[in-house]
């Protein structure tokens, strides 16, 4: 807008995207561009790129191999030069069954799910209580920016140096940007994207049985399970199988609940894995 001499201001019509989104896109265009998502992820090898070789910690790739009889067989393998497992194949069934067993072991007992429900509810109420404080901070930020803009305009009126005036104008433009961002955030504060019940049910459905979602979900759901359940990619060793992964914060939280629960109830089973058939159906 600078080339037309139009200052940054709030639009009079509803935009196609929010100002925050537009601003993020502009910063992305002016900065480093991340590599696009891998195009070779498919239902044939849904774990491609997510599983690391246990010998060299490089991502394993996958492909179909044709036998002498002409039958095609799916394999995962490492292609990193110098790795002891380089070009040594792992049957897709072996790797993906080991991963499925890992997901099954993450299924919490119903008691743990009930505790998680109470914790989610408490966290939701805390966020509601924080909304008013966030509104006050944003309003204060807007008022402070407006005050600074007024002061800079007064200085422009008395300034004689074009260089100084230009510096003041750039600062005013930055403050106007801050005002618009704060105003947009203020409109969204305290307004959840979805109702508590809807958001909670989806979260609980995953926590109650990640394996069930993995087994019945499409490619998008399965990739979501990977992102939500694990903090980083997992390692697979050809000899020992899946190594202990670094779980995401929600899964670690459930594990902590399990540990404290066992301490409170003694020898009673508090966090025994539940099968995909017997697990509670949260819908």
Q: Which secondary-structure segment (H or E) carries 76?
A: strand 72-77
Q: Answer with the residue of higher pLDDT: 119 or 59.
A: 59
Domain segments of the chain as ranges:
38-107+209-273
Does residue 282 have a pLDDT over 90?
no
Strands 89-91 and 72-77 come out as antiparallel
Does residue 34 have a pLDDT over 80?
no
pTM comes to 0.53
Which residues fall within 8 angstroms of residue 156, CB to CB, at 6 or more apart? 165, 168, 169
pLDDT in the model for residue 74: 94
Q: What is the pLDDT of residues 163-208, one digit of tens each?
A: 999 999 999 999 999 998 888 888 877 666 566 666 667 677 777 8
Rounded to 10 degrees, what is the CA torsion of 229, 231, 237, 238?
40
Q: Answer with the residue of higher pLDDT: 1 or 176.
A: 176
Q: What is the pLDDT of residues 199-247, one digit of tens each?
A: 667 677 777 888 888 988 888 889 888 988 899 999 999 889 999 999 9
Average pLDDT (248-272) is: 62
Which residues fall within 8 angstroms of residue 76, CB to CB, at 6 or more apart? 45, 47, 48, 51, 60, 61, 62, 89, 90, 92, 95, 236
Does residue 35 have a pLDDT over 70?
no
């Amino acid at each position: 807008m600078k080339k037309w001499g139009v200052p940054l201001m709030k639009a009079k019509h509803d935009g196609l995207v929010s100002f925050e989104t537009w601003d993020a896109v502009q910063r992305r265009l002016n900065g480093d561009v991340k590599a696009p998502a891998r195009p070779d992820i498919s239902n044939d090898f849904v774990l491609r790129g997510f599983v690391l070789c246990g010998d060299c910690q490089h991502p394993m790739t996958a492909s179909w191999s044709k036998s002498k009889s002409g039958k095609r067989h799916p394999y995962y393998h490492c292609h990193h030069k110098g790795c002891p497992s380089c070009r040594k194949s792992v049957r897709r069934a072996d790797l993906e069954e080991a991963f499925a067993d890992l997901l099954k072991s993450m299924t919490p007992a119903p008691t743990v799910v009930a505790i998680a429900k109470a914790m989610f509810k408490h966290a939701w109420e805390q966020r509601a209580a924080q909304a008013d404080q966030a509104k006050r901070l944003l309003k204060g930020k807007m008022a402070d920016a407006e005050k600074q803009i007024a002061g800079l305009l007064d200085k422009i009126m008395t300034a004689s140096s074009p260089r100084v005036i230009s510096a003041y104008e750039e600062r005013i433009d930055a403050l106007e940007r801050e005002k618009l961002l704060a105003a947009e955030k203020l409109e969204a504060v305290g307004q959840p994207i979805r109702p508590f019940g809807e958001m909670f049910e989806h979260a609980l459905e995953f926590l109650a049985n990640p394996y069930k979602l993995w087994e019945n979900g499409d490619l998008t759901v399965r990739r979501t399970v990977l992102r939500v359940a694990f903090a980083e990619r997992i390692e697979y060793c050809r000899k020992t199988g899946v190594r202990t992964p670094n779980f995401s914060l929600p899964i670690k939280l459930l594990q902590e609940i399990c540990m404290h629960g066992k301490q409170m109830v003694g020898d009673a089973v508090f966090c025994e894995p539940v099968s995909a058939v017997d697990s509670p159906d949260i819908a």
